[in-house]
Amino acid sequence: MQNQISIKNEASVCLIEIEGTIGVPEEGQFEDPDTRVATYERFRETVQRIAAVEAEEVIVSIRSTGGDVNDALLIHDALRTLKGKVTTRCYGYTASAATIVAQAASEGCRLIAPTSLYLIHNSLCSVEGNAEELQAEVEMLRQTDSRIAEVYASRSGRSVEEIAELMSENGGRGRWLSPMETIAEGLVDAIDSVPHE
């Protein structure tokens, strides 16, 4: 899946579509030197464009199985700074880093399609090195998990510990949730009654 973020301003409503991988997958950053910088620049400019939106209403459609946690947090924070009403609408598989972006909606405006599946889990990375290097990566992952759990807990009405337990199911891989389970866990607010085009 290619990463794609598109922004369309229409009168007082701004439509943002997030599809595919969020950010630049680490393993693909150096495959093609001719596109590496352009890809980074496009992503950075997109986040800046999101932060600059002045529409009265912003609708963010998300169809993504995740990607880079840092990039998802940047998008989340950009959306949270907007003055207008922000609605996030999750379709298909919404997982991992994509669920962080979904938490950026205004109060009561986190929606999920009736056919979607939703997954939160512990963070992961690929790494090699000596024992000290590996331990440093373990600490970074634990700090990342704590930060992500805080984001979910701040919107869910659940404690950080409860969210961390949900993220840690199945050896840290989490568990796919149905729309009703996702609502019950406080991760979204309602079923989306508007079909995705």
Q: Is the pLDDT of residue 29 over 60?
A: no
Find the range with the poorest average confidence among 5-9, 11-15, 77-81, 163-167. Answer: 5-9
Strand-strand pairing, 4-10 and 13-19:
antiparallel
In this predicted model, what pLDDT tens digit does every residue of 98-153 receive, in sequence order? Answer: 999 999 999 999 999 999 999 999 998 888 889 998 899 999 999 999 999 999 99
With a cut of 70, say whether residue 4 has pLDDT above it. Answer: no
Checking if the pLDDT of 1 tops 50, the result is no
Maximum pairwise Cα distance, the chain:
56
- Residue 151 burial (10 A CB sphere; 0-12, 13-18, 19+): buried
Check the CA dihedral 166-161-102-43 and report its sign: negative
Q: Encode pLDDT of 147-195 as tens digits.
A: 999 999 999 999 999 999 999 999 999 999 999 999 999 999 999 987 6
Helix, strand, or coil here: 33?
helix
Query: Does the pLDDT at position 7 exceed 80?
Result: no
| Residue 5 pLDDT greater than 70, yes or no | yes
Percent helix, strand and coil across the chain, each rounded to 5? 45, 20, 35
pLDDT of residue 55: 86
pLDDT of residue 127: 82
Residue 156, token pair as written in the block: 């869910």
DSSP E strand boundaries for 1-159: 4-10, 13-19, 57-64, 85-95, 110-112, 117-119
- The pLDDT tens digits for 36-93 are 444 456 667 887 888 888 889 999 999 999 988 988 998 999 999 998 999 999 999 9
- Confidence (pTM): 0.86
Backbone angles phi, psi at 139, to 5 degrees: -65, -40
Separation CA 45–CA 16 (nearest Å) = 14
**Cα(75)–Cα(52) distance, rounded to whole angstroms?**
12
- In this prediction, residue 119 carries a pLDDT of 98
CA 26 to chain centre: 17
Over the Cα atoms of the chain, what is R_g? 17
How long a stretch of residues is the chain?
197
Say how far residue 194 (Cα) sits from the centre of its chain: 21
* pLDDT at residue 3, as a whole number: 59
